[in-house]
Amino acid sequence: MTDLPPSPVAPAERQLGLDVVRGLAVLGILAMNIVEFGLPMRAYGDPSAAGGSTGADLWTWMLQEALFDGRMRALFSMLFGAGMVLIAERMQAGGRGVSTADLLLRRCLWLIPLGIVHRFFLQWTGDILYIYGLLGVLAVAMRELRPRTQLIAGLLALAMAVPLELRRYDVAATQRAQAAEAQAIEARGEKPSDELAQAAARWQRRLEAPKPDADADELKAIRGSWVDVARFRWEHNHSFQHAFVYYYFVWDVLGMMLVGMALQRLGFFAGRMRTAVYVTAIVVGLAAAVGSWLLSLTWAERAWSRGELGLQLARGSLYPFLRGFGGLGWAAVLLLALRSEALAKLLRPLAAVGRTAFSCYILQTLCCTTFFFGWGCGWFGLLSRAQLMLVFAAVSVVQLLFAVLWLRAFRFGPMEWLWRSLTYWRRQPLQRDAAEAAATSPAGTAAPSS
DSSP string of 142-190? TTTS-HHHHHHHHHHHHTTHHHHHHHHHHHHHHHHHHHHHHHHHHHTT-
pLDDT for the residue 15: 83
Domain contains 1:
no
Domain membership of residue 400 (yes or no) is yes
Q: What pTM did the predictor assign?
A: 0.91
- Do 23 and 352 form a contact (C-beta atoms < 8 A)? yes
Sign of CA dihedral 278, 283, 288, 293: positive
The DSSP secondary structure of 400-411, one letter per residue, reads HHHHHHHHHHBS
Question: Residue 133 in contact with residue 172, Cβ under 8 Å?
Answer: no
> Range of 154's domain?
11-167+218-439
Q: Based on the structure, what is the number of domains in the chain?
A: 1
User: Distance between CA atoms of 74 and 97, rounded to whole angstroms?
Assistant: 28
pLDDT for res 438 = 53
Cβ contacts of 191 within 8 Å, gap of 6 or more? 185
Report if residue 268 sits inside a domain: yes
The whole-number pLDDT of residue 443 equals: 41
Residue 391 belongs to some domain of the structure: yes
Q: Is residue 330 part of a domain?
A: yes
Contact predicate 345/304, CB 8 Å: no
pLDDT tens track of the chain, all 450 residues?
444 444 456 555 678 999 999 999 999 999 999 999 999 999 998 999 999 999 999 999 999 999 999 999 999 999 999 999 999 888 887 777 668 889 999 999 999 999 999 999 999 999 999 999 999 999 999 999 999 999 999 999 999 999 999 999 999 999 999 999 999 999 988 898 989 999 899 999 888 877 777 899 999 999 999 999 999 999 988 888 888 888 889 999 999 999 999 999 999 999 999 999 999 999 999 999 999 999 999 999 999 999 999 999 999 999 999 999 999 999 999 999 999 999 999 999 999 999 999 999 999 999 999 999 999 999 999 999 999 999 999 999 999 999 999 999 999 899 999 999 999 888 988 888 755 555 454 444 333 333
DSSP 271-332: T-S-HHHHHHHHHHHHHHHHHHHHHHHHHHHTTT-TT-HHHHHHHHHHHHHHHHHHHHHHHH
In a domain? residue 124: yes
Cβ–Cβ < 8 Å for 21, 447 = no
CB atoms within 10 A of CB 337: 17
For 378, the 3-state DSSP assignment is: coil
pLDDT of residue 436: 59
d(CA 191, CA 349): 68
Residue 445 lies in a domain: no
Residue 179 lies in a domain: no
What CA dihedral angle connects 386, 391, 397 and 400, to 10 degrees? -100
How far is the C-alpha of 336 from the C-alpha of 340, rounded, in Å?
Answer: 8
